[in-house]
Amino acid sequence: MSERSSAPSARPTWSDANRQQPPPDLAEFIRFCHRRRSVGWPEIYDEMCAVAARREFHGWDHDELARRGMSFTLFEMPRLAAWVRFVLAEAAAPSRPEVPHAAPQPVPG
């Protein structure tokens, strides 16, 4: 009977991945793909792969995205899913209404 190690795993857990947000250039890639096909996770995964295969975002392919930290591998799927959800949730959040500043009132007298 084998025993499991009590040492922490080097692999990120779903909760770790869920707290992360993508670098700004990768967030823009996700928004670009979402504008092309307005779907959520996991459907957007296919669009992201296709965009990378055709180099339709700044000429970036899978290798360039990997150099920037985005991988489409099964091992990296939880982080990629979390990034997509983060970016799409951020885009769907209503923007903060700006509070108008009171115009200076003339001083009587």
Taking the complete model, does pTM exceed 0.85, yes or no?
A: no
CB within 8 A of 52, min separation 6: which ones?
A: 60, 61, 62, 65, 72
pLDDT for 60 equals 98
Rounded Cα gap, residues 35 and 43, in angstroms: 13
Question: Tens-of-pLDDT digits for all 109 residues of the chain?
Answer: 555 445 444 444 445 544 579 999 999 999 999 999 999 999 999 999 999 999 999 999 999 999 999 999 999 999 999 999 999 998 887 765 555 555 556 666 6
Cβ(53)–Cβ(61) below 8 Å: yes
> Diameter of the chain by CA atoms?
92
Distance between CA atoms of residues 88 and 82, nearest Å: 10
Identify the pLDDT of residue 48: 98
Distance CA 70, CA 83 (A): 10
